[in-house]
Structure 1
């Protein structure tokens, strides 16, 4: 399950609630494309902005519409008791796995993070992916802490931040981590612009934002990287540089992906929880131009 392309769709919503029909259409598109797994309620799914009831509903909707594609549900929250509730709701919905980031307001210590994962793993009957995302959690995992957490029985994958855009350096980074974790724990790359480099360097999975909107495009890159076709994987990533440039210039992938979804009619406007907003003005025009130039479908 924690290999290949894991596509992360948006959770389209406004201040009145989740746009359930739009969300299920996004999920069904991923099923039709035959992605390897679907990840909901990650950063792209804006889990931190949803109530417990909304999160449970999203998990249920995704599983119901995912057919035989495994569903991984994000369970991160500020308090361990809430993480446990989200984990139970995800399991009751039929999730195949869960994704956990150490969300915090006060900066956490290594021991506090280990205790969080240890406590949650005791309650799980499904596999867990460790979500290492310092850009949102402001917690930086050491490889040694990853090694400790990876010994927990329910831990089956680690989602790492983007690697350097240099295959040799990326290989060294992946090798250091792999030397500290059990052989059955996979390593997945996040940060779409780093996907080709990360997978060619030895990562087993791509946890993908763009895969949630354009699964065929992401699958082509994934399969080339899995086949170790360096030329093809790099060419496919380079072709998407106009998109990667938008990520860099507009603070990451979320607002860009949400703006694309609105512009292409995949979701209605607005689709983000306030105070978040999609790109407007000249930035929106630039996104539209990039979509047209790339001819994504």
Structure 2
């Protein structure tokens, strides 16, 4: 399977209160993904807290990800406020053995389409690896329009887009529109775990998954069944995860996934401040949701 297809699992990056990456804990997280056979790992995505880490600590995380070499393709998030900084991070990822890049147009000042185009082009040229555009307006406050995705898809190295779930149209309609604009080998995937079973059934190339980074077994099962075309079975499996989807929407997936990591014994690391962990009462809700999923009973490498 080619890069940016199938289940791309996005794990947390355990770190201490000063942003020092816990390589041992991250290694445990990554070992589970290898054991489950995910199609790729998205290191230093939003769930991986990339914007809360220094360049040196990002490199420490990528070096830990080197344990995936030859087993699972590694995609590395390289978003940064400045273009030169993002370009340097892209070179770091390439030099450390990454297989692909993920770029969100992070900014303080709202960006224009021309500014994002120039930013993405510079980072793609610096990294010289297949690059996935990260369309994440809830975090970056910038939305990639179909026109901009079309322009960027013609650039060297720009190979995919990671889309949010659409708010005002069906996934199938959005996919049809985008596929009519981009090269045939340009991959279109989705994030927003609660809608990604539908996205896979509609023909999306990838599920960029928070769940896959912490519970790769169930996420892989859904991906395989959805890609086989068995919509009824896939949606039934997805329905079992509804309590988790509700928690993701209510509290934000980052907070929930850290609570999940605590519950299954992977790490006691906390979300990067100023993000606060869930309250004890809300953590109980996470425990109950996990107990409702068959096979989630401890730090098994494949659950």
| TM norm structure 1 | 0.95
Shift of 1:239: 1.1
> In structure 2, the residue corresponding to 1:188 is in which secondary structure?
strand
- Which whole-Å CA distance do the structure 1 matches of 2:89 and 2:179 have between them? 29
Q: Offset at 1:32?
A: 0.9
Report the equivalent of 1:127.
Answer: 130
Give how far 1:161 is off. 0.3
Tell me the residue number matched to 1:170. Answer: 171
1:22 aligns with 2:11: no
1:188-217 CA-to-partner distances (Å, cap 9, x unmatched) read 110100111111111100000000111110
Aligned 1:155-194 pairs, distance under 5 A: 155-163=158-166, 169-194=170-195
| 1:86 has 2:89 as partner | yes
Distance in 2 (alpha carbons) for counterparts of 1:66 and 1:5? 17
Q: How does 1:1-297 map to 2 (within 5 A)?
A: 1-16=3-18, 17-163=20-166, 169-250=170-251, 252-268=252-268, 270-295=269-294, 296=296, 297=303
C-alpha separation in 1, matches of 2:97 and 2:210: 23
In the aligned structure 1, how far is the partner of 2:283 from the partner of 2:69? 31
Contact 1:27 1:66 (8 Å CA) reproduced: no
User: Which runs of no fewer than 5 residues in structure 2 stay unpaired?
Assistant: 297-302
Cα offset for 1:64?
2.8
Measured after TM superposition, the shift of residue 65 of structure 1 is 4.1
Which consecutive unaligned segments of at least 5 residues does structure 1 have? Answer: none
Distance 2:106 2:124 in 1: 16
Contact 2:90-2:127 within 8 A present in 1 as well: yes
Is the alpha carbon distance of 1:142 and 1:256 closer, same or farther for their aligned partners in structure 2, counting shifts above 3 Å?
same
Deviations 1:225-258 (A, max 9, x none): 11111111111111100000101111x2111111
- CA deviations 1:31-89 (Å, max 9, x no partner) are 11111000100000000000000001111111234542100000000000100110010
Residues 99 and 130 of structure 2 are in contact (CA less than 8 Å); yes or no, is this contact kept in structure 1? yes
Kindly report the root-mean-square deviation, in angstroms, between the aligned alpha carbons of the 2 structures.
1.4
The whole-number CA distance in structure 1 between the counterparts of 2:188 and 2:229 is: 16
TM-score normalised to structure 2 length: 0.94
TM-superposed deviation, 1:281: 2.5
Contact 2:163 2:188 in 1 (8 A): yes
SS at 1:197 equivalent: helix
Displacement of 1:124 in angstroms is 2.6
> What residue number does 2:300 align with?
none
In structure 2, distance between residues paired with 1:239 and 1:13: 31
Q: Could you tell me whether the CA contact under 8 Å between 2:14 and 2:25 is conserved in 1?
A: yes
Q: Kindly state the Cα deviation for residue 165 of structure 1 after the two structures are TM-superposed.
A: 10
Contact 1:76 1:83 (C-alpha < 8 Å) held by counterparts: yes
Supply the distance in 2 between the matched residues of 1:292 and 1:273 (Cα, whole angstroms). Answer: 26
Alpha-carbon distance in 1 for matches of 2:182, 2:114: 18
